């Protein structure tokens, strides 16, 4: 079985999963750390979890979803009154915090998917880049609701990984409802487009989202463009 540090290293090097998936994995790593801890008293357990949380927050500095989720965990455990607690009791309290955060992630993602799917109009031409499971599921939901769309995907690669093509493969499962045009230059992609959709590094509880800098170029081009429909 992987050590906690090994799990953190694997998370740091994962270039396949989306932001929400990585955030959920970060919580599971903390759960593994709680269950495998050999701490003999509550203050050592608390210190261990703070160390694990700090390591997770720093393992992917540009991935806001991981950092924000881990910071939420740290805030929650700091609110726990540890007076008179045994290690086992504190472990259970920490796992309860994780359960709450995992449910928040699920609820936030579901709300984001609904918000985006509702915002997409029938016949819309959408421009996107990179890879986001939330965005993909929102487009799939819109198509399942009877909307026919075109999605143009600008190039997005990191080493051997083609994120644009990964997105295209997922969206092609929508069939005829979604016309997918992959590897389109930004300027051409924006011509006549109705909207630009970018993945969410963080989905908040109210369904609003936050993104990091990888999609900045497309967002800036869209803002400056006079070609959007």
**Residues 67-76: tens digit of each pLDDT:** 999 999 999 9
Q: Is the pTM of this model over 0.85?
A: no
pLDDT in tens, 113-163: 999 999 999 999 999 988 888 899 999 999 999 999 999 999 888 778 888
Mean pLDDT, all residues of the chain: 88
pLDDT in tens, 162-183: 888 999 999 999 999 999 998 8
Rounded to 5°, the CA angle 38-41-44 comes to 70
Indicate the fold that domain 4-111 takes in CATH.
1.20.120
| Level-2 CATH architecture, domain 120-224 | 3-Layer(aba) Sandwich (3.40)
Q: For residue 45, give Cα distances in angstroms to 8, 26, 37, 150, 186.
A: 18, 18, 7, 52, 50
Closest CA to 149 of 158, 140, 160: 140
Domain ranges of the chain: 4-111, 120-224
Tokens 């083609």 — which residue? Answer: 162
């Amino acid at each position: 079985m992987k050590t906690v540090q090994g799990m953190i290293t694997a998370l740091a090097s994962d270039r396949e999963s989306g932001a929400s998936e990585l955030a959920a994995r970060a919580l599971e790593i903390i759960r593994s750390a709680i269950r495998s801890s050999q701490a003999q008293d509550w203050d050592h357990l608390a210190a261990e979890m703070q160390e694990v949380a700090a390591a997770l927050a720093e393992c992917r500095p540009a991935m806001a979803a991981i950092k924000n989720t881990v910071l939420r965990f740290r805030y929650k455990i700091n609110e726990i009154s540890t007076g008179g607690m045994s290690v086992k009791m504190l472990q259970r309290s920490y796992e309860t915090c994780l359960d709450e955060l995992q449910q928040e992630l699920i609820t936030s993602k579901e709300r984001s998917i609904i918000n985006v799917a509702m915002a997409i109009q029938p016949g819309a031409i959408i421009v996107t880049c990179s890879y986001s499971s939330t965005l993909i599921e929102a487009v799939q939901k819109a198509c399942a609701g009877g909307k026919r769309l075109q999605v143009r995907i600008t190039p997005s690669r990191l080493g051997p990984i083609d994120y644009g093509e990964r997105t295209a493969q997922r969206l092609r499962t929508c069939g005829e409802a979604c016309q997918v045009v992959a590897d389109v230059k930004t300027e051409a992609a924006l011509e006549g487009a109705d909207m630009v959709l970018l993945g969410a590094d963080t989905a908040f509880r109210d369904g609003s989202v936050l993104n990091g800098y990888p999609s900045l170029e497309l967002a800036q081009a869209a803002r400056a463009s006079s070609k959007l429909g």
